[in-house]
Amino acid sequence: MENYFDLVPLVVLIPLVGMLTNLFFGKRFGEQGVAIVAVGASAAAFLIAVILWIAQVNTGYVPAVIDMPVLGDWINITSAGLRIPWEFRVDSLSVTMMLVVSGVGTLIHIYAVGYMHGDSRFPRFFVYMNMFLVFMLLLVTGNNFLMMFVGWEGVGLCSYLLIGFWFDKPGGVGWKNSDAARKAFIVNRVGDFGLILGVLLTFWTFRTLDYYKPGEMPAAAHHEEAAYEETLFAPDLPEDEHHETATGPIGVFNQASAWLEEGDHEVNFGVISLSLEATITLITLLFLLGATGKSAQIPLFVWLPDAMAGPTPVSAFIHAATMVTAGVYMMVRSNVLYHSSDLSSFVVAMIGATTAIVAGFIAVGQWDIKRVLAYSTVSQLGFMVAAVGVGAYAAAMFHLVTHACFKALLFLASGSVIHGMEHGHHHLHEHGHGDHGHDDDDFDPQDMRFMGGLKDKMPVTYWTYIFGTLALAGVFPFAGFWSKDEILLDSIKHGVNDGYLSGYLAFVLLLIAAVFTAFYMWRQVSMVFYGQPRHAAAEHASESSNLMTRPLIVLAILSLLIGLINIPSGFPILGWLLGKHEFTSFLGHSVTFAHAGSFNFLLATMAVILALGAIYAARALYNDKTLATLERDPLELDERTAEAFALANAKLYWDEFYFKYIIWPYRNVAYWLAEKLDWEIWHDFAHERLIRDPFNRATQFLAEPVDKGFIDRNFDRLGTLVRRVSDRMRVIQTGYVRTYALSVLFGALLVVILILLPVLRELLGL
Amino acid sequence: MATVVFMLPLVGMVLMLILARSDQQYRWWTLTTSIVTFAVSLLLVRGFDKTSAGLQMVDQFDWISGEGFSIQYYVGIDGISIWLVMLTTFIMPLAILSSFKAIQKRVKLYYMFMLLMEWAMLGVFVAQDLFLFYVFWEVTLVPMYFLIGIWGAEQRIYAAVKFFLYTMAGSLLMLLAILWLGNEAGTFAVPEILEQLKTGDLVFSTATGRWLFLAFGIAFAIKVPMWPLHSWLPDAHVQAPTAGSVILAGVLLKMGTYGFVRFNLPLFPAASETFAPYIAALAVIGIIYGAWVSYGQKDMKKLVAYSSISHLGFVMLGIFALNSSGIEGAVLQMVNHGISTGGLFLVVGVLYERRHTKLMAAFGGIWQAMPLYSGVALVIVLSSMGLPGLNGFVGEFTILLGAAGSDAISWWFTPLAALGVILAAVYMLYMFNTVFMGELDKEENKRLPDLDWRELYALVPILIMVLVIGLQAGYFFEFMDAKVGDLVRDISLAVAAGR
């Protein structure tokens, strides 16, 4: 079975071939051909991920490191001890990510074939989608931080291209889309700044960037973990064997474990030295900055809502299911480092939990169907990040997997809604009764105020949407219930059992965020599907094509069932039927500090009751009566909540803050530097006024009063003599600088000849 | 062997002057010559011994010698100069190809200068004798002066004179230092001077070392250009024809950074160590200042010109990290910058030929009108921004790595320099967004023709190198590792010995 691991490069190379094929021949293929290539590439990648998964299971979860074919080392500076190979890593964590990315990716590719039908740049869309797969799979399969970084920025590039995909839409929309794309890239670059500094620090601390060297096993967790009710999941190797493998070259994580165990390790950077613990804290905080960029956390989450300018399949795939989870993946991958730093873990937990609640709050005040989901994504990513912060690495990954399914589902279903609305709108135009309903110019197919009553018009979309919503809200037995519950439980345990303040804080914040989640989701469901149509377009909306609805159905089933991969041990019947913590123990083979929580009935019941309560409250508030007009939100009309709603609707003025204090000052200083300091002052004033002009004046002075006025007069007689001579010389004194420079050239050529002479002499043996 | 490569352009030029008759023939003669030069220079790579730190393919004869001094014709390549030679021979055919349509007046003279330029630049990179080096250093000024002065834009004379005077002023100090050094050592050959320094036959005081360092350093710093000596660069770039800008950014600026590595570090190691923090500080200021000023520009060429100041700040930072990661990264980044920025100027030139303006505000939505061109432009823009997987990233990363682990400079240069990576995205995407993205809302842009074959041939090699270096930088580092490893060791030995 080990031989199958050699297939892992294909997981990247097949989408690459798909991308290049469509790039060069896409125009000739037509829509169908392009779709077959792109979907085929994605499906093939998924197939290989499945094979790798089976191989992992059958080989006892031994991690494998596989070289990239053809390419040699990426970077290799022997004298600096720097070697960055192109190496892939197959272990349970990377396989999990591969399955999610290529699995959800394939469904979304299929959906996109229907969604993008008729777009003038259909082939290019799928070029970008396959390119995204290349980079995302590279990100999760690389065996060192720098390869991860290639994927990391690569997916950022795809995100940029896809957010700006409709850069040419008329009426200013195109410019807005382009700006959103640029914003995403630049905000992510701020995060990457942290990540790359963290990578530099990692190298100088551990003298390598490889996670593990080939043949090296992840170290087992220490026994302090046994405090949990569940036992930990050590790799299937006995303890002493692990020590044996550690004698060869050693990767970052095992080196960290070994040194931490030794204690009192100092790290020297050039002229300063730090304790290992302080260094790791610094590294992990810098990595966290990277994660806040890519995974849209406070303070860098502002790009994600704007990223909804991209086509909806992109929002589902890149900005909900996969790319934005890269930060979580990266932190889970570095769990050995995060685990050892209490300070970093605390900051991570607080950032995640705060983001979860802030984004959940903003989501309540949004009108745009995709923006609600975008903020919801930010909020859910906050759950995952918080889980990392409380040491629940397995729970974070579990939530990543379930979230990928139900959030992709919600986005795709919202795309189906938008599609239906647009069709209804087209229908209106074709049949010429655009005169009733709202004014046509204001129509926005994504604004929920124009929707309503779509339940009967789009039944498949409606039911799948309900599945997604219940999963997201964490209602039993949907997927989100299992994963969210595990995060909540781990948080409170982190507080109670281990005595960390961050555990309590995260628990409270996340619980409130979970209530927000259920509320804004049901607010959305009510506005979109219940009541009566509030616009003629909604009235004429119709169900989307099979290409679009079938992936929805698959994802809906997944949203219901995917939670079963990790049934907690305390859960009656199901746990006994399906095995306990299957997913956690699978992850445990590569994530050293993956541990399983148990199950707490009280907590689970409380969470479900809170979610159902929030759903009930939402439906009560957004009942058929208030939904009938919905010019303004019921929360807006109520005095007690009006202010909060306005705040949520304005996104807490977060963007405005950045504009006022960072972007405008930066831009104004740039203009000032460019036009005033560098040009008027330095270029013109200093160079022209201070250097050139005085020099010119001096020469003028020498030429006119000194030369002409004094010397010339006295030497006038001599001058006449000279003039006769100089009359003949004047020919070469043209006064053109280029003539003078030409004479420099001839001088130079003379020198050349002088150079050549000895060469010739030598060659001719003279 | 080195002689053959660097004399080829001169031979080609002479033959062109004798044999070629029409404008079309001048063009093709020149292009063929430069391609042949490139092909022959590939033999250098093939024949290069990576394990050796010394000079290879040396040609050495006495040139002018007398009582107590000797000036030699001494050329050769080592792990550092080989890639700069390759960069020159690689860029020149592209620059020549890009001039076919743009240059319609005094064609013969133009191509004569192009080949002269190539010859002189190659001479700078292969010369191992200080005097010889100085000769070539000055000779490069002449063709560039004319390229700007004759075929440039409206203010070409002003820009050409400024370029000439600025560089000349710096060079004079270097000439003095060279003469002093040659007089003391009795030879101008760099390897021989180094040998004397090592054995202690040639000793100079700390103060003298510093003066000499500065005399060389100022000449090189103007060429780089380091902040705040950059004022000639925007003028030269904006006024120069496309090919002139390509050569200027692609190769000429590298003569400055190359000079630091070739002469300042090995000849004055103690002074290098002393000045490293100050130079690093100027480099970091340059990185941020250049990036910031770029963002304030309205003219594309000016934006790219200022971005060079930022990028070359990285190179300087890497050199004065004084460790092998930093220096090797810097050398690779010289090549990368040549390729990416050369490519950017080609990209700007394509639009300029069509619309005769370089103002960003005149464009918008070009992607829709010229999809192929825009795709190519995107890759080059990304390479310049340092997207990992493309060439710029490898250089920046290894430079930052070197700076972070440097004993010579303080740690906080690294995060400040890394800020430049964010700022690069800010100005580059600003340009890309305003020119290529957005709506195609200006009537005169709607029917712009996409790239023709000639333009594509000039740009595709750049794309290839962007990817090859981006994915296989290890290959390029292997050539320099022995040499740079030696250099770094010699520096630390010399510093320890107080030389």
ipTM: 0.94
HSE value, Cβ hemisphere, 13 Å, CA-based, for B403: 33
**Does residue A227 form part of some domain?**
yes
- Alpha-carbon distances of B451 from A47, B371, B440, B454, B456, rounded to whole Å: 40, 9, 18, 8, 6
Q: Is A766 on the interface with B (CB under 8 A)?
A: no
**Does residue A230 form part of some domain?**
yes
Q: What gap in Å lies between CA B198 and CA B192, rounded to an integer? A: 10
* Model pLDDT, residue A227: 38
* Model pLDDT, residue A2: 74
Q: Across chain B, what does the average pLDDT equal? A: 92
Residues in chain A closer than 8 A to B9 (CB atoms): none
Q: Is A253 on the interface with B (CB under 8 A)?
A: no
* Model pLDDT, residue A242: 44
**Does residue A237 form part of some domain?**
yes
A55-95 per-position pLDDT tens digit: 999 988 889 999 988 888 999 999 989 999 999 999 999 99
Q: Which residues 194-213 in chain A show a CB within 8 A of chain B?
A: 196-197, 200-201, 203-204
- In chain A, whose CA is at the least distance from the CA of B325? A80
* Model pLDDT, residue A714: 73
The reply to whether residue B474 touches residue A72, judged by beta carbons under 8 angstroms, is: yes
B194-239 per-position pLDDT tens digit: 999 888 888 888 889 999 999 999 999 999 999 889 989 999 999 9
Query: Which of A678, A683, A760 to mutate to test binding with chain B, by most B CBs within 10 Å of its CB?
Result: A678
**Does residue A644 form part of some domain?**
yes
Here the tokens at position A350 are 């607080």
Q: What gap in Å lies between CA A600 and CA A486, rounded to an integer? A: 9
Q: Which residues 83-142 in chain A show a CB within 8 A of chain B?
A: 83-84, 86
Structural contact between residues A383 and A572, judged by C-beta atoms closer than 8 angstroms:
no
Q: What gap in Å lies between CA B44 and CA B34, rounded to an integer? A: 15
* Model pLDDT, residue A312: 93
Q: Is A577 on the interface with B (CB under 8 A)?
A: no
A653-664 per-position pLDDT tens digit: 999 999 999 999
Nearest to A655 by CA among A324, A183, A312, A325: A183
Q: What gap in Å lies between CA B340 and CA B459, rounded to an integer? A: 11
The reply to whether residue A738 touches residue B146, judged by beta carbons under 8 angstroms, is: yes
- The answer on pLDDT for B260 being more than 90 is yes
pLDDT beneath 70: ranges in chain A: 1, 221-248, 270, 432-441, 715, 717, 719, 729-735, 763-766
* Model pLDDT, residue A731: 66
What spatial distance separates the first Cα and last Cα of chain A, rounded to whole Å?
74
**Does residue A288 form part of some domain?**
yes
Nearest to A73 by CA among B79, B324, B479, B475: B475
Residues A744 and A626 in one domain: no
Question: How many domains, chain A?
Answer: 2
- The answer on pLDDT for B153 being more than 90 is no
Give the least confident one: A210-219, B81-90, B298-307: A210-219
Of A586, A617, A649, which residue sits at a domain end? A649
* Model pLDDT, residue A437: 47
Of A586, A621, A649, which residue sits at a domain end? A649
Residues A644 and A752 in one domain: no
Residues A743 and A630 in one domain: no
- Alpha-carbon distances of A332 from A396, B127, B176, B306, B450, rounded to whole Å: 8, 54, 60, 41, 47
Selecting from B139, B402, B481 the residue whose C-beta is nearest the C-beta of A748 gives: B139
The reply to whether residue B388 touches residue A149, judged by beta carbons under 8 angstroms, is: yes
**Does residue A23 form part of some domain?**
no
The reply to whether residue B481 touches residue A744, judged by beta carbons under 8 angstroms, is: no
Selecting from B414, B439, B484 the residue whose C-beta is nearest the C-beta of A175 gives: B439
Structural contact between residues B132 and B166, judged by C-beta atoms closer than 8 angstroms:
no
The reply to whether residue A673 touches residue B3, judged by beta carbons under 8 angstroms, is: no
Query: Which of A77, A199, A666 to mutate to test binding with chain B, by most B CBs within 10 Å of its CB?
Result: A77
**Does residue A78 form part of some domain?**
no
Residues A478 and A586 in one domain: yes
Nearest to B352 by CA among B239, B236, B428, B232: B239
**By residue range, what is the domain housing residue A744?**
737-766
Residues A631 and A755 in one domain: no
Amino acid identity, position B208: T
The reply to whether residue A745 touches residue B414, judged by beta carbons under 8 angstroms, is: no
Beta-carbon contacts of residue A487 (< 8 Å; ≥ 6 apart)? A383, A384, A386, A387, A390, A392, A395, A396, A399, A510
**Does residue A157 form part of some domain?**
no
The reply to whether residue A182 touches residue B404, judged by beta carbons under 8 angstroms, is: no
- The answer on pLDDT for B247 being more than 90 is yes
Of A625, A649, A673, which residue sits at a domain end? A649
A167-223 per-position pLDDT tens digit: 988 888 999 999 999 999 999 999 999 999 999 999 999 999 999 998 888 877 644
**Whole-number CA gyration radius for chain A:** 33
* Model pLDDT, residue B499: 65
Q: Which residues 137-166 in chain A show a CB within 8 A of chain B?
A: 146, 149-150, 152-154, 157, 160, 164
Tell me how many residue pairs between chain A and chain B have CB atoms under 8 A apart: 216
Residues A461 and A602 in one domain: yes
* Model pLDDT, residue A159: 95
The reply to whether residue A74 touches residue B473, judged by beta carbons under 8 angstroms, is: yes
Residues A749 and A644 in one domain: no
The reply to whether residue B296 touches residue A182, judged by beta carbons under 8 angstroms, is: no
Q: What gap in Å lies between CA A302 and CA A300, rounded to an integer? A: 6
* Model pLDDT, residue A224: 43
pTM of the model: 0.91
Nearest to A278 by CA among A341, A191, A232, A346: A341
Residues A628 and A752 in one domain: no
The reply to whether residue B397 touches residue A146, judged by beta carbons under 8 angstroms, is: yes
* Model pLDDT, residue A237: 43
Give the relative orientation of helices B130-139 and B141-151 as an angle to the nearest 10 degrees.
10
Here the tokens at position B140 are 């490069």
Residues A744 and A635 in one domain: no
